[in-house]
Amino acid sequence: MNHLRWNLLPPVPAGHPVNDCGFSPLLIQLMYNRGLTDIAHIESFTKADSSLSGDPQLLPDIHQAINRIYQGLLSGEKIAVYGDFDVDGITGTAILVQGLKALGGDVTPYIPHRIREGHGLNSDALDYLKNEGMSLVITVDCGVTGIAQVKKAKRHGLDIIITDHHTPLGELPDAVAVVDPKREDSRYPFNELAGVGVAYKFLEALYNGMGKEKQIENFLDLVALGTVADMMPLLGENRYLVKQGLKVLSKNRRPGIREISMLAGIDATSIGTEEISWALAPRLNAAGRLEHALTSYKLMVTDSTEEAQDLSILLEEQNSERQKMTSRSLAKAKEQVQAKGITPLLIASDPDYPPGIIGLVAGRLSEEFYRPSIVIKVGEKSSNGSCRSIPEFNIIKALNECHELMSDFGGHARAAGFTMPTKNLSKLEEKLNLMAQEQLAGLDLRPRLDIDAEMKLSQMGGETYQSLQSLAPFGMGNPIPTFLSRSVEVVDCQTMGNNGGHLRLKLRQNNVNWEAVAFGLGECSKEMHSHIDIVYNLRLERWRGEERLRLNIQDLAPSK
């Protein structure tokens, strides 16, 4: 009945320094689980204040970048900001365009088309910008691997400043400046900023030099959106940026965020990391998957409520269409992989897969079957693939071992993409399948569910929820605390949602009653036992002005 591998994390050792930090035993356990092992780390983590903020002057090439921007502003040059088409790139582009315009800059945004131009710098796009009179291009969330593109642009008299957060290759582009905290020679104390975070710190350095330190904080709402949407770890400086950014978001300064939140059924005055991840980010990404991400950019920067309403409706429609396309393609992909038999590596390929959603389909396959998964849009001569993987299989390492079969590839251990001659597809599938069989042989291929502590339901009331919020904001690197309660009585169990895919439960333990929901576990109703063990989070549910706590069940199993 339980679908996951439960991993109850070990208790804090007796005598460990973390026991003396003055917090409750539960918070001490949670902090220990998150690698916080001394009082200094615990204080900076819980405060999440400006002490976590790095000095932007420590970013590599920041001085060259600032000097070139000053030159451009003083001489009235036409400047382009070239951002990636995901939420991280869109928000970073909005920050730099609005931030430089506020200083009197003549600035134009440019966001490439996902299908026609692809990821990263595109030479044709740079030529277009040059022909439009641009003499300086600043990148956001891309460019650090664009060695050939920067070289060509320089020959054509176009200056490039790169701001990026991806890992550089062995060689850096010959740009005016390459501002990237992941450079090997970087002295910046935190290298896990999102692309929007790097853009923000770049603008912060510029504003600090002009005595406008306070004005920069107005852009923190966009930093929070992009950082959470890009699934960056909410540790170190990201904790400060997101925590402050959520406060700015709650002030409802941007009509676009207000309107799209309303359509998504979100209270715009209390947006948190979950609302960004599950409601706002998919809608803002939908434009770039189906049409052009410029729609989402315009929504971020508009001052007009009427325009914001129109753009939000368009994004809502595009997101609905994206969901339908994803469902259709996922059904086809599941048929393909099941027809072959569920092997250690799943590959689905078809000429009709929409290129903007193959990454989503690969992610869904990987989640459902817990296998590395690849979805390929097959072209007549060239094909594009998107990969999602599991911790036990490094997909970018596997692709690197097949590099001779591909025209281009990139990514990291859990997510990657490639372009390749269609004639090489069968060879690629053969090599990757062999690697997966060797590396995953004998493993229990179910996702691992880390559990922070075993608790009684009676311990979850009172001030427990509020005390847990001292660890917020939650997200990648700092997950929502997860608990295990054993031998819980099932008082009532009902299915809910489309096709009964979810459960609503009433639970009891030692005369303590709780309401609970279990998303995606509707099938468990057919074999529900009178007493179960549950793994869950505590969630605060807001409905019609009222707040109530409930258990959000991650997995369940019959009590032994």
pLDDT over 70 at 43, yes or no = yes
pLDDT over 70 at 544, yes or no = no
Residue 176 lies inside a defined structural domain of this protein? yes
pLDDT over 80 at 202, yes or no = yes
Q: Are residues 40 and 119 in the same domain?
A: no
Residue 335 lies inside a defined structural domain of this protein? no
CB neighbours (10 Å) of residue 534?
26
More confident residue, 527 or 457: 457
Where among 440, 472, 507 does a domain terminate? 440
353 Cβ neighbours under 8 A, 6+ residues apart: 329, 332, 333, 361, 375, 376, 377, 378
Q: How far apart are CA 35 and CA 20, in angstroms?
A: 16
Q: Are 361 and 375 in contact (CB under 8 A)?
A: yes
Q: How far apart are CA 114 and CA 255, in angstroms?
A: 26
Q: How far apart are CA 218 and CA 195, in angstroms?
A: 18
Residue 474 lies inside a defined structural domain of this protein? yes
pLDDT in tens, 286-295: 988 888 899 9
Assigned token pair, 558: 């019959």
Residue 337 lies inside a defined structural domain of this protein? no
Where among 310, 330, 350 does a domain terminate? 330
pLDDT over 90 at 308, yes or no = yes
Q: Are residues 117 and 258 in the same domain?
A: no
More confident residue, 505 or 525: 505
Residue 173's CATH number: 3.90.1640.30
Task: Name the DSSP letter for residue 478.
Answer: B
Q: Are residues 240 and 180 in the same domain?
A: yes
Count Cβ atoms within 10 A of the Cβ of residue 322 and give its class: 0-12 exposed, 13-18 middle, 19 or more buried: buried
Confidence of residue 461 (pLDDT cuts 50, 70, 90): confident
Residue 97 lies inside a defined structural domain of this protein? yes
Residue 336 lies inside a defined structural domain of this protein? no
Where among 208, 226, 248 does a domain terminate? 248
Count Cβ atoms within 10 A of the Cβ of residue 480 and give its class: 0-12 exposed, 13-18 middle, 19 or more buried: middle
- Strands 373-377, 408-411: parallel, antiparallel or unpaired by DSSP? unpaired
Residue 544's CATH number: 2.40.50.460
Q: How far apart are CA 278 and CA 36, in angstroms?
A: 28
Instruction: Read off the pTM.
Output: 0.91
Q: Are residues 105 and 213 in the same domain?
A: yes
Residue 535 lies inside a defined structural domain of this protein? yes
pLDDT over 80 at 184, yes or no = yes
Residue-number span of the structural domain to which 326 is assigned: 252-330
pLDDT at 37: 81
Task: Name the DSSP letter for residue 471.
Answer: G
Number of domains present in the structure of the chain: 4
Residue 430's CATH number: 3.10.310.30
Rounded to the nearest integer, the mean pLDDT of the chain is 93
Per DSSP, the chain holds a count of helices (H) and strands (E) of: 18, 18
Assigned token pair, 302: 């508009």
pLDDT over 60 at 354, yes or no = yes
Q: Are residues 239 and 260 in the same domain?
A: no
Q: Torsion-angle region of residue 266: left (phi > 0), alpha (psi -120 to 50) or beta?
A: beta
Q: Are residues 463 and 506 in the same domain?
A: yes
Q: Are residues 150 and 236 in the same domain?
A: yes
pLDDT in tens, 374-408: 999 999 999 999 999 999 999 999 999 999 999 88
Q: Are residues 147 and 235 in the same domain?
A: yes
pLDDT at 291: 82
pLDDT in tens, 57-90: 999 999 999 999 999 999 999 999 999 999 999 9
- Percent residues over pLDDT 70 in the chain: 99
Q: How far apart are CA 348 and CA 331, in angstroms?
A: 11
> For 356, how many CA atoms within 13 A lie in the half-sphere containing its CB?
24
pLDDT at 1: 52
Q: Are residues 320 and 351 in the same domain?
A: no
Amino acid occupying residue 449 = L
Q: How far apart are CA 111 and CA 128, in angstroms?
A: 12
pLDDT at 2: 57
Residue 61 lies inside a defined structural domain of this protein? yes
Q: Torsion-angle region of residue 298: left (phi > 0), alpha (psi -120 to 50) or beta?
A: alpha
Q: Are residues 240 and 258 in the same domain?
A: no
Q: Are residues 98 and 137 in the same domain?
A: yes
Q: Are residues 137 and 28 in the same domain?
A: no
